[in-house]
Amino acid sequence: MPEKLLLAKKYAGTKQNFKTQLFLKIAVNTRFLIPDRLTDVGKFTHEVLRRLAVKYPEHEFYFLFDRAFDPQYIYSVNVKPVVVYPSVRHPVLYYWWYQVSLARALQKIKPDVFLSTDGMTTLNARVPRVTVMSDLVVEHFPQEVDYLSRKYLKNYNPRFAQISAKIITFSAFTRQEISRLYKINSGKIEVVAPAAGEEFRKIDFGRQVAVRQKYTNGEAYFISVGALQPRQNIANLFRAFDLFKEKTGSEVKLLIAGNNKLKSRGIKQVYKQMRFKSEVVFTDRVKDAELIELYGAAVAAVYVPLRADAGISVIEAQKCGCPVVAAATGALPEVAGAGALLVNPVAIEEISEALIQVYHDLEVRSRLVQAGFRNTEKFSWDKSAEKVMRLLEETVKTQATSRAHL
């Protein structure tokens, strides 16, 4: 009987800490670890894995990339990078990479558990799988997913959910949605909340002045972070900002930080019709160092998507001492806590009134900042990493114990 199974059998039912009994071989899908292009999933992957690799030197981590990797993501000597081709740069390659190339790599590595952080996994490997399913865009906004990706995900997402021993998601809201849509017992879905890095913090007044001078010619501004996609409700934000300007006559600007291409015809049309479109400032995607300064100098961060499965941007803004206006939908109420003014994302007047309130009322701003700081104390990458490791160990233990009893 293999050593790991003997250990599982020996210690089954004891109160000893399982992590001290096994030296695990953990394979991880690290496709999203791309320098300067970390999405929310990429941030989660980076922050969790760099902690696990250092804290658990007894375990071996096999990082599976689909292209040449950056050495900064090889966090420790117990991390072994493996490049699995072809690079997944087109939806046609989803099937080949996950169901053929990845399956072959796992067969060669023979890991004790496979962690995939991008919502997809392989169906063709005899290894327990833990899968992070962080959003359900293909279910709620299928029109925003290209045809080939949509067909693949609609077909395979339920199967990924079924075959995974454990599913990790970012919010209780998304946990319920996965259970409902894919007919999954909610008991195998665990919430592991993202956090904001320690680098997110307040900046001093002098720096705030310099940031405003750099981006908005010294004027105050609201900031909205994210891609210009219909589900982010940018059209209604534009309308609400126009209304805010009409009512206040202020010099405040709206700064959009993220992909600055107006691809959506609807968003483009609303922007063209704006009375105050000259007061909207577009930056391209910004690095975290710039984002921290932009949050720190803003009147407020405005995040009003039609639906949100996570909300890392809210936590990051709060940690920088930035008041938040957020949509009262999806996961945002549970993520934002008392540190945000919650609004109906389809009620333009309501969004506009929230902007007016947070702009004019210093007491409201101060209350939101303090409540935001308290709220961020609930979130910690250290705690998130520990929970992921516990789930990986539990998965291996369950698998080993069931085999030992065969």
Contact 194, 315 (CB under 8 A): yes
Q: What is the mean pLDDT of the chain?
A: 92
Domain ranges of the chain: 3-195+381-401, 205-376
Nearest by Cα to 248 from 343, 324, 356, 347: 356
pLDDT per residue over 269-311, tens digit each? 999 999 999 999 999 888 999 999 999 999 999 999 999 988 9
Can you spell out the DSSP letters for 299-356? SEEEE--S--S--HHHHHHHHTT--EEEESSTTHHHHHTTSSEEE-TT-HHHHHHHHH
* Local structure of 250: helix, strand or coil: coil
Nearest by Cα to 310 from 128, 61, 39: 39
The model's pTM: 0.89
Annotation: CATH topology of 205-376? Rossmann fold (3.40.50)
pLDDT per residue over 331-376, tens digit each? 999 999 999 999 999 999 999 999 999 999 999 999 999 999 999 9
Compute the Cα dihedral for 391, 393, 398, 400 and give only its sign: positive
Contact 74, 54 (CB under 8 A): no
**φ and ψ at residue 69, rounded to 5 degrees:** -105, 160
- Sorting pLDDT into bands at 50, 70 and 90, what band is 399? confident
Q: Does 404 have pLDDT greater than 70?
A: no
Q: Does 102 have pLDDT greater than 60?
A: yes
- Sorting pLDDT into bands at 50, 70 and 90, what band is 260? low
Residue 232 or residue 10, greater confidence: 232
pLDDT per residue over 191-246, tens digit each? 999 999 999 999 999 999 999 999 999 999 999 998 888 899 999 999 999 999 99
Q: In the prediction, which pLDDT does 364 show?
A: 97
Mean pLDDT, to the nearest integer, of 14-24?
Answer: 54
Mean pLDDT, to the nearest integer, of 89-93?
Answer: 87
DSSP state letter for 165: S
Q: Does 92 have pLDDT greater than 90?
A: no
Q: How many CB atoms lie within 10 A of CB 290?
A: 15
Mean pLDDT, to the nearest integer, of 15-33?
Answer: 76
Contact 364, 180 (CB under 8 A): no
What is the spatial distance between Cα 71 and Cα 81, in angstroms, rounded to a whole number? 9
Residue indicated by tokens 């199974």: 5
Q: Is 205-376 the same fold as 3-195+381-401?
A: yes
- Sorting pLDDT into bands at 50, 70 and 90, what band is 91? confident
Can you spell out the DSSP letters for 19-63? GGT---EEEEE-TT--TT---HHHHHHHHHHHHHHHH-TTSEEEE
Mean pLDDT, to the nearest integer, of 386-401?
Answer: 91
Contact 71, 120 (CB under 8 A): no
Annotation: CATH topology of 3-195+381-401? Rossmann fold (3.40.50)
Residue 2 or residue 371, greater confidence: 371
Query: What is the percent of the chain where pLDDT is above 90?
Result: 83
